[in-house]
Amino acid sequence: MSQYLRHPLAAFFGAVALTVPWVYTWATGGAESLGALLTVAVSGVGILGGSFLLAWGAETAEKDVPRAFAIAVLAVLAVAPEYAVDALYAWGAGSGGATAEACAQFTAAQIENGVTPLAAACHDANLAVANMTGANRILIGLGWSGIALFTLYRGNSSADAAVAEREGFLADVVNLDRKIAVEIAFLLAATAFAFFVPLGGGIGIVDTLFLVGLYVIYISIAVSSDIEEVEDQVGVPAYFHGFPKAGRALVSLTLFAFSGALIYTAVHPFAHGLETLGTDFGIPSFFMIQWIAPLASESPELIVVAYLVNKARSTAGFNALVSSKLNQWTLLIGTLAVVYSLSIGSVGTLPFDARQSAEIWITAAQSFFAIAVLINFCISGREAVGLLVLFASQVVIEFAIIRDWVALPFGSHDLLLGYTALYTVLGVALFASRRGELAFVLGSARDAARDAFTR
């Protein structure tokens, strides 16, 4: 009996079994009859199972396609629920007639309370931006930092060659694959552009053309890169690597399709259930949309990366995290204007208020600082803690201001601008001290683009 339990298919069918309760609930339309707590439990377990299947699909595909492309596909599928949530709000804004001129007639309180259908549409436009910025900051503030610390922790008990010991408190580092220079360079370009997005009064067609075009160029480079020799796998992907090439392709495509569809259908009830539970505890709805819903939609990505780190594949895990940040910071922002334009019936600009402008700026500044941390292809325990503390402190202080727990001489808007300045100053200082690494990253991206388009 024990030999069957150790067989790779035992783990595979175990993950499939985790998805069965949600698949049955969704197929029979029973999700609406479940309470919030049970909905969170059933959909959450389904997301967990789907995340493992998604990771195995990507690891199986690495044998036949460039790793960068396989990881890019994994990243897109893992964060697809976040796209769906944002698209829902962007569609509501457009179908409700929200434009910059129309929304200007309402006060912030009227928009927040949705006093009219038009005001509610303006609120949806703000929520689309808030959900997007929250997801991006969670990916770095919790994702990059948490996975780095988990990798260092696992490095003490696993043979992860990426972990290097150094003298000092939290001085150990996780070394990254230098081939990720292309992703870092494109992420830096998207981040630099994001600082200017609020100056246009909304997210419009110019933003879409630049950001989506940037991602298309990146994918073109990833597809044309060489197929690398896959390191020895264990467990489920090792079993599938023994299949003929056609069989491996079928397995990867099936796992991608099934896990992507499952995560897409499960994450909305999961997020809504968390929002309901949070509201029962008195957490403001806007705060829930910005932080709890994105945390739910980011969970598949974090589960996949934690799985890779647990297998001593931390470089692949960080590649996935950086790729996820790149596609969210390009495709996610760029497609908001497309969805909005489709819903309003003409090419338009998704409007947002001054508060959301500050949210975009702090998100761009956090990204700028985080890139500066990774520009030398390693992240130390201290740097990971710094990312985590900066993120958590801003969220906690803002929540305290919203709940009137503390009396501070500034509001949440000023808090966002203050953290924007802090992130930017820290990022500039790091880039200045790592000029050589920055030149290497930009040069690597230039060479990769030249090679790709020459081919």
How confident is the model over 186-233, as pLDDT tens digits? Answer: 999 999 999 999 998 899 999 999 999 998 898 888 777 665 555 555
Place of tokens 């990720």: 180
Residues near 148 by beta carbon (within 8 Å), at least 6 away in sequence: 174, 318, 379, 381, 383, 384
Q: Which of 287-296, 395-404, 421-430 has the lowest mean pLDDT?
A: 287-296
Exposed e or buried b for every residue in 31-47, given b needs 16+ CB within 10 A? beebebeebbbbbbbbb
Of 128, 454, 204, 187, the residue nearest 323 (C-alpha): 187
Of 415, 380, 381, 386, the residue nearest 398 (C-alpha): 415
CB 335 within 8 A of CB 312: no
More confident residue, 265 or 441: 441
CA distances, 96 to each of 102, 125, 272 (Å): 10, 10, 22
Place of tokens 């972990």: 163
CA distance 360 to 419: 12
pTM for this predicted structure: 0.83
258 by Cβ neighbours in 10 Å (0-12 / 13-18 / 19+) ranks as: middle
Percentage of the chain lying above the pLDDT 70 cut: 90
Of 202, 206, 208, the residue nearest 350 (C-alpha): 202
- pLDDT over threshold 70, residue 251: yes
CA distance 130 to 272: 16
Asked if the structure places residue 454 within a domain, the reply is: no
Q: At what angle do helices 145-155 and 381-402 cross, to 10 degrees?
A: 140
Q: Which of 17-31, 85-99, 274-288, 436-450 has the lowest mean pLDDT?
A: 274-288
Residue 119: CATH number of its domain = 1.20.1420.30
Asked if the structure places residue 115 within a domain, the reply is: yes
Please state whether 114 falls in left (phi above 0), alpha (psi between -120 and 50) or beta.
left
The 8-class DSSP code of residue 140 comes to: I
Please count the CA atoms within 13 angstroms of the CA of 25 that sit on its side-chain side: 24
Dihedral angle over CA of 193, 198, 202, 206, nearest 10: -20
State mean pLDDT over 155-174: 79
Q: What is the DSSP string of 197-222?
A: GGGGTSB-HHHHHHHHHHHHHHHHHH
Asked if the structure places residue 453 within a domain, the reply is: no
The 8-class DSSP code of residue 289 comes to: I
CB 140 within 8 A of CB 370: yes
- pLDDT over threshold 90, residue 305: no
What is the rounded average pLDDT for all residues in the chain?
85
More confident residue, 154 or 285: 154
Q: What backbone phi and psi angles, to 5 degrees, belong to 73?
A: -65, -45
Query: Residue 308: which domain range?
Result: 2-448
Write down the pLDDT at residue 227.
Answer: 57
Asked if the structure places residue 362 within a domain, the reply is: yes
How confident is the model over 346-367, as pLDDT tens digits? Answer: 898 999 999 999 999 999 999 9
CB 266 within 8 A of CB 34: no
CB 375 within 8 A of CB 437: yes
Write down the pLDDT at residue 226.
Answer: 64
State mean pLDDT over 222-245: 70
Asked if the structure places residue 183 within a domain, the reply is: yes
Of 333, 350, 334, 289, the residue nearest 94 (C-alpha): 350
Q: Which of 279-288, 336-345, 419-428, 446-455 has the lowest mean pLDDT?
A: 279-288
- pLDDT over threshold 90, residue 313: no
- pLDDT over threshold 80, residue 414: yes
> Terminal CA-to-CA distance of the chain, rounded, Å?
53
Asked if the structure places residue 455 within a domain, the reply is: no
The greatest distance separating any two alpha carbons of the chain, rounded to the nearest whole angstrom, comes to 71
Place of tokens 């195995």: 56
Asked if the structure places residue 189 within a domain, the reply is: yes
Q: How many structural domains comprise the chain?
A: 1
CB 176 within 8 A of CB 377: yes
Write down the pLDDT at residue 138.
Answer: 92
Asked if the structure places residue 278 within a domain, the reply is: yes
CB 314 within 8 A of CB 163: yes
CA distance 9 to 12: 5
